[in-house]
Amino acid sequence: MTDNEKLAIREYESKKGLKELLLQQYSKKIEDLGLEDFSRVKRYLKVYYGVLDFHFDRDMVFAHLGFENISSYLAKGQDFTVVSGLNPSSPLHFGHKVLFDLLSYLQTLGAFVYIPITSDESYIDSKVSSIADSRRIGYGEIIPSILALGLKRERTRFYVLSDYPDIYNFAMYLSKYVDMGYLKSIFGEDSLDNSGKIFYRAAVQLAQILMPQLPEFGGKRDTLIPVGIDQHPYLLLSRDIAKKTGFIPPSEMVFKFQPSLKNPLEKMSGSKPETAIYLTDDADTIKTKITKAYTGSVSLLSVHRDLGAIPEICPVFSLLNFHCADNTLVKKTYEDYKSGKLTGGELKALVTDFIVSVVCEHKKKRAQVGDYKDMLVSTPIRSFL
Amino acid sequence: MGSSAARTLVSKTRNTSSILVPLTKTMTNINKQILDNLRAYFVDDSLLPIKDSMLEIGRVTDFKLVYGETYDTFGLTIDSLKYYFFLSVLNSLLAETGTKTAGTVIVGDVASVRNKSVDEEGVKKQISKNTEMQSKICATYRTALKFERMSDLFETSTFKEALANVRRVFSESHEMADLAEKTVLKNKLKQESEAEFQYSLEEVALITGYDIKVGPKREINYDRMANIVRKSLKRLPLQGFYLKPTYPLGLQFDYLLKHPEVEKYGLTPYKAGSNKLQNFRVVLGKTSLNQIEELIKSSFCPADITLPNAVRELYLTGLLAKALITKDLGLLANESNFNLPSGNDVIRLVQKYIFEPLEL
């Protein structure tokens, strides 16, 4: 055995260890954070609907808290309310796309979706240089991009926080119920280092989550909040404050993050362009980013052919897994890559073609989005004043 | 049932003087198939691994089978029927090997009114009504089951001796004490502990004399306690067969998601008002066929047999009724008969083999 082969085998073992770490990471989170495994819910949904969207089927949604309450709406065929937003600091990337694809699927099951565009959060977290920038990205980039992902106009409402000051009155009302000690215990002092962050995390975010339960929006009812695992503290806080203020604690649905192109243990981040593929990237940029991405295969071809790759830790494969509805293609790619039949280079070429086609299609749809003023929330909030 | 096959089997068993032959080995192929199907389609779990059960080790020539139940004011459920029929079929299969068998249903009249919050008079009236219905069931389906009241059993010397044994072992065994704690609700633990787990020990004393017990899985700790007592008496362990849980009809999967304890253990089969779901059960003499039809229509009815399915349980009860009433246990040997038919076919089966014969 040559030194190169020995090195490649060590590389393979190390990647295998990474896979275990990744799997444990999710199961440990479920246990540590007091979440419920989504697989129990999934079994029932699969029987009830016959076929599930691939995001559910491929376990991208892996945990929940209180989804049972939402299941009653599903079982009765009733509409239900979903809240999930994002902070506008960059164009949408494929990590965001996972969320909006899920929202789009939930709409087919009866979801009415509120999407707060948190221009204020982008600013206080220094992801943009001004609220104006963030606002511009929200209206000019984010909302049209989300709509181009297929969300139904009649079942979607947006608001950009800085243009909907009524939410701050509601936030002020809720802020009285959150004490600093509790806030620090949930978020840690590091993420509360300016007063804007304190008000945002302690109150504004809560206001977004609980707003649909105000009389102006139909009154108290169950709501579903799909989040990445890093958003779980917000849900804990909002469930607690909902109980204290007479609202119904929101249900949480937790999805896996789209891994960074550089590190499978981290998430794709809009503020780190090398980790993400934006829906605005051109074909050459996509190709370059994917070519430079970390993979689940080892660097020596002969060892790759012998041992195969580890698709579970491969950010390139995950692009296919998280975004390609064609189960046959995904399954075949997984098996060929895992067995070593498909090389890392071949996988990158295949995924590049796929991602470029998704981005092209998205750009076409985005050009057709048109006016969305009718989808902006402008209802005055007065019920608690 | 293929009676000639059964006769051959009986004589074969009698000729085989060794009592070490596993009982299932002395069964006809068709009866073995029936037993396998009963295990596969009705039994959720057993107390002992099948290989360790008396049916397999075969050192017993005399089997006593038991099922016990308590009641509320809402009536006798169709789920009780499933237990009666299961016990009856199992009894027949064992009897056909030439083994001496006796099947008993313990009517828990005392246990039904132990809880002070129950309407004692109402429950007693209901038990009287149940007795009439149970006699009718025995006669109609020729179940050969003996219904014995707990209050009568308490007066027997057999029970008194059994209770003394149970108390003796309980006082010496930490394991018994641990199990006794598990038989009571947490909020009743102090009270029961002060009463030295009298009720639990009485329950155990009632069953220690039996070899096979059929019941819902929530009774497993009583059965484990009974086996500690049996071990001290150098008797072979009791085998418990826990039938698949009883689920409410007319509810969707969200009910099960919200009630994981019902998803796992089901409702108490013999208590119609278990979890206040009496309107989602079939209560003999109260629920009409039209109501069953409506309940079936709105039930969660998955094809996946690992998921709870109240319609399937209703169908299986109907199937046992059919096998008993037509005296054709052989139909339980045919796996295709266990495929769940349409809701209308389930209703027809229930109508023809339960409602009409019992004149409900």
Q: Helix (H, G, I), strand (E, B), or coil: what is residue A80?
A: strand
Find the CB nearest A68 among B254, B300, B302: B254
pLDDT at B56: 66
Q: Return the H-helix or E-strand segment holding A159.
A: strand A156-160
Among A48, A68, A76, the residue with its CB nearest the CB of B258 is A68
**Residue in chain A lying closest to B300 (CA):** A48
Instruction: Give the pLDDT mean for B5-32.
Output: 55
Closest-CA residue of A relative to B303 is: A47
- Residue B2: predicted pLDDT: 40
Kindly determine whether residue B257 and residue A48, on different chains, have CB atoms separated by under 8 Å. no
Specify the pLDDT at position B18.
37
Work out the number of other CB atoms within 10 angstroms of the CB of residue A346: 14
Q: Cβ neighbours of residue A26 under 8 Å, at least 6 residues apart?
A: A62, A63, A229, A256
Contact (CB<8Å) A44/B303: no
User: Which of B247, B251, B252, B254 is most worth mutating to test chain A (most A CB atoms within 10 A of its CB)?
Assistant: B254
Burial readout A118-143 (b: 16 or more C-beta within 10 A, e: otherwise): bbbbbbbbebbeebebbbebbbebbb
Beta strands in A168-250 (DSSP E): 223-228
Given pLDDT bands bounded at 50, 70 and 90, which one contains residue B21? low
A119: in domain:
yes
The set of residues, in sequence order, having a beta carbon less than 8 Å from that of A193 and lying 6+ positions away, is: none
Lowest mean pLDDT segment, chosen from A77-81, B15-19, B342-346? B15-19
Distance, in Å, from the CA atom of A237 to the CA atom of B119, rounded to the nearest integer, reads 45
Contact A79, A205 (CB under 8 A): no
Closest listed residue to residue B269, CA positions, set B315, B216, B220, B340: B216
pLDDT band of B60, cuts 50, 70, 90 = low
Domain tally, chain A: 1
Chain B residues bordering chain A (beta-carbon distance below 8 Å) = 252-254, 256-258, 300, 302-304, 307
Whether the predicted pLDDT of B3 surpasses 70: no
CA distance B260 to chain A (A): 10
Q: Do B257 and A68 touch (CB under 8 A)?
A: yes
Q: How far is A42 from chain B (nearest CA, A)?
A: 11
Position with higher pLDDT, B12 vs A384: A384
Both tokens of B257, joined, read: 């998601």
Contact state of B307 with A44 under an 8 Å Cβ cutoff: yes
Q: What angle do CA B216, B222, B223 make, to 5 degrees?
A: 75
How are beta strands B145-149 and B100-107 bridged, if at all?
parallel
pLDDT above 60 for B13: no
Contacts of A47 in chain B (CB under 8 A): 253, 300, 302-304, 307
Q: Which pLDDT does position A25 carry in this prediction?
A: 87
- Is A167 domain-assigned? yes
pLDDT in the model for residue B188: 85
The pLDDT of residue B228: 96
**Minimal Cα–Cα distance from B331 to chain A, Å?**
29
Evaluate whether residue A155 is within a structural domain: yes
Instruction: Inspect the interface and report whether the beta carbons of A44 and B258 lie closer than 8 Å.
Output: no
Contacts of B352 (CB under 8 A, 6+ apart): B322
A-B contacts at Cβ under 8 angstroms: 36
Q: Is B253–A40 a contact, with Cβ atoms under 8 angstroms apart?
A: no
Closest residue of B to A71, CA-based?
B254
CA distance A147 to A140: 12
For residue A17, being part of any structural domain is answered with no
pLDDT in tens, chain A (385 residues): 898 889 999 999 999 999 999 988 888 989 899 999 999 999 999 999 999 999 999 999 999 999 999 999 999 999 999 999 999 989 999 999 999 999 999 999 999 999 999 998 889 888 899 999 999 999 999 999 999 999 999 999 999 999 999 999 999 999 999 988 888 888 888 888 888 888 888 899 999 999 999 999 999 999 999 999 988 988 999 999 999 999 999 999 999 999 999 999 999 998 899 999 999 999 999 999 999 999 999 999 999 999 999 999 999 999 999 999 999 999 999 999 999 999 999 999 999 999 999 999 999 999 999 999 999 999 999 998 8
pLDDT of residue B5: 36
For residue B145, is pLDDT > 50?
yes
Closest-CA residue of B relative to A39 is B257
User: What pLDDT does residue B57 have?
Assistant: 61
pLDDT one-digit tens code per residue, B257-315: 999 999 999 999 999 999 999 999 999 999 999 999 999 999 999 988 899 999 999 99
Closest by Cβ to A71, choosing from B254, B302, B303: B254
What is the pLDDT at residue A183?
A: 87
Q: Considering CB atoms only, which of A44, A47, A76 is closest to B257?
A: A44
- The pLDDT > 70 percentage for chain B reads 91
Lowest pLDDT segment from A243-252, B8-17, B127-136:
B8-17
Q: Quick one: closest CA in B to A36, which residue?
A: B257
Q: Decide if A10 is inside a domain.
A: no
- Across the interface, whether the CB atoms of B300 and A76 are under 8 A apart is answered no
Q: Which of A40, A43, A75 sits opposite B254 (nearest CB)?
A: A75
The C-alpha of A71 sits at a distance from chain B's nearest C-alpha, in angstroms, of 5
Phi, psi torsion values for A356, nearest 5 degrees: -60, -40
Contacts of B302 in chain A (CB under 8 A): 44, 47
Nearest Cα to Cα of residue B77 among B251, B224, B286, B232:
B286
Please check whether residue A356 lies inside any domain of the structure: no
Looking at every residue in chain B, the average pLDDT score rounds to 89
Which of B253, B262, B301 should be substituted to probe chain A, the one whose Cβ sees the most A Cβ atoms within 10 Å?
B253
Asked if the Cβ–Cβ distance from B258 to A71 is below 8 Å, we say yes
Q: Do the domain assignments include residue A27? A: no
Segment B234-251 shows an average pLDDT of 94
Q: The whole model's pTM is what?
A: 0.87
Q: Under an 8 A CB cutoff, do A69 and B300 touch? A: no
Q: Give the per-residue pLDDT at B11.
A: 33
Mutate to test the interface with B, among A39, A44, A78, A251 (most CBs of B within 10 A): A44
Contact B252 A47 (CB under 8 A): no
* Inside any domain, residue A91: yes
User: Is the CB of residue A120 less than 8 Å from the CB of residue A131?
Assistant: yes
Cβ pair A69:B258 closer than 8 A:
yes
- Over residues B251-273, the pLDDT tens digits come to 999 999 999 999 999 999 999 99
Share of chain B above pLDDT 90, in %: 76
> Can you tell me the ipTM of this complex?
0.86
A75 CB neighbours in chain B (<8 A) are 252-254, 300
**Residues in chain A closer than 8 A to B254 (CB atoms):** 68, 71-72, 74-75
The stretches of chain B forming alpha helices (DSSP H) are 3-15, 29-41, 54-57, 78-95, 109-112, 120-141, 150-153, 157-172, 174-182, 189-194, 198-207, 220-232, 253-258, 260-265, 289-297, 310-325, 343-350
With contacts defined as CB-CB under 8 Å, which chain A residues touch B250?
Answer: none
- The pLDDT value given to residue A248: 97
User: Which residues span the domain enclosing A192?
Assistant: 33-259
Which residue segments constitute the domains of chain B, with CATH numbers given?
23-155+244-355 (3.40.50)
pLDDT of residue A381: 94
Give B149's pLDDT tier (boundaries 50, 70, 90): very high
Q: What CATH number corresponds to the domain at position A40? A: 3.40.50.620
Question: Which residues, listed in sequence order, are joined to residue B67 by a DSSP beta bridge?
Answer: B105
- Quote the minimal CA–CA distance from B346 to chain A in Å: 20
Q: Closest to A75 (Cβ–Cβ): which among B252, B302, B303?
A: B252
